[in-house]
């Protein structure tokens, strides 16, 4: 029996300091956590993208809680 070849979970490209591309095949789901306070005037929210190969976790930060509250499952995920 041959060992199964490892597969890439995601390909992430930084085009400049304003653009980011993520290619993930076979997305099984996207989970978005509740915004949490990190420090004074600093909030974060976790986004987990689940695929058949593995998971990618992103952490978005903001100085304004209201900006993070607009990111939810109704945003097209």
**16 found inside a domain:** no
Asked if residue 4 has pLDDT above 80, the reply is no
**10 found inside a domain:** no
How many domains would you assign to the chain? 1
Q: What DSSP character marks residue 67?
A: H
pLDDT in tens, 39-48: 999 999 999 9
Question: How confident is the model at residue 76, as a pLDDT?
Answer: 47
Please tell me the distance from the alpha carbon of residue 1 to that of residue 26, in angstroms, as a whole number.
Answer: 25
Please tell me the distance from the alpha carbon of residue 12 to that of residue 56, in angstroms, as a whole number.
Answer: 10
Contacts of 41 (CB under 8 A, 6+ apart): 63
CB burial readout 9-24, b (16+ within 10 A) else e:
eeeeeeeeeeeeeeeb
Considering only residues 5 and 47, tell me which one the structure prediction assigns the higher pLDDT: 47
Question: What range defines the domain where residue 36 resides?
Answer: 27-75
Nearest 5°: phi and psi at 9?
-80, -45
């Amino acid at each position: 029996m041959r060992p199964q070849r490892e597969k890439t979970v995601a390909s992430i490209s930084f085009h400049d300091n304003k653009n980011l591309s993520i290619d993930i095949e076979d997305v099984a789901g996207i989970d978005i956590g509740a915004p949490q306070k990190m420090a004074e005037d600093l909030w974060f929210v976790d986004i987990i993208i689940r695929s058949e190969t593995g998971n990618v976790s992103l952490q978005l930060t903001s100085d304004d809680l209201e900006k993070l509250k607009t990111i939810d499952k109704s945003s097209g995920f």
